[in-house]
Amino acid sequence: MSSEEFEKLHEMYRSLYEELKLMPDKAQKSHGEERKRLVRTFDERHGEAEEVLQGMEEELRGAPPSYRNSMSTKLRMYRRDLGKLQRDMKNSAPGFGSSYNTVPGNHGIYSSQNQHSTHLQSQRALLLQGTDALNNASQSIERSQRIAAETEQIGTDIIEELGEQREQLDRSRNRLANTGENLSRSRKILRAMSRRLVTNKLLLGIIILMELAILGAVIYLKFFRK
Q: What is the pLDDT of residues 107-133, one digit of tens each?
A: 334 445 445 555 666 676 677 777 777
- CA 84 – CA 76 distance, rounded (Å): 12
Check: pTM over 0.85? Answer yes or no.
no
- CA 90 – CA 78 distance, rounded (Å): 19
Name every residue whose Cβ is closer than 8 Å to that of residue 191 and which is 6 or more positions away in sequence: none
The helix/strand/coil state of 63 is: coil
Name every residue whose Cβ is closer than 8 Å to that of residue 61 and which is 6 or more positions away in sequence: 1, 68
Nearest in space to 15 (alpha carbons), one of 40, 62, 48 = 48
The helix/strand/coil state of 104 is: coil
The total number of residues shown for the chain amounts to 226
Interior/surface letters 83-107, b for 16+ CB within 10 angstroms, e for the rest: eebbebbbebbebbeeebeeeeeee
pLDDT at 87: 87
Number of CB atoms found within 10 A of residue 202's CB:
10
Sign of CA dihedral 93, 99, 102, 107: positive
Rg of the chain in Å (alpha carbons):
53
Dihedral angle computed from the Cα positions of residues 146, 151, 157 and 161, in that order, rounded to the nearest 10 degrees = 170
Number of CB atoms found within 10 A of residue 156's CB:
10
**How many Å separate Cα 29 from the centre of its chain?**
55
- CA 147 – CA 83 distance, rounded (Å): 49
Determine contact, residues 42/20, Cβ cutoff 8 Å: yes
Which residues of the chain have a pLDDT value below 50?
98-111, 113-114
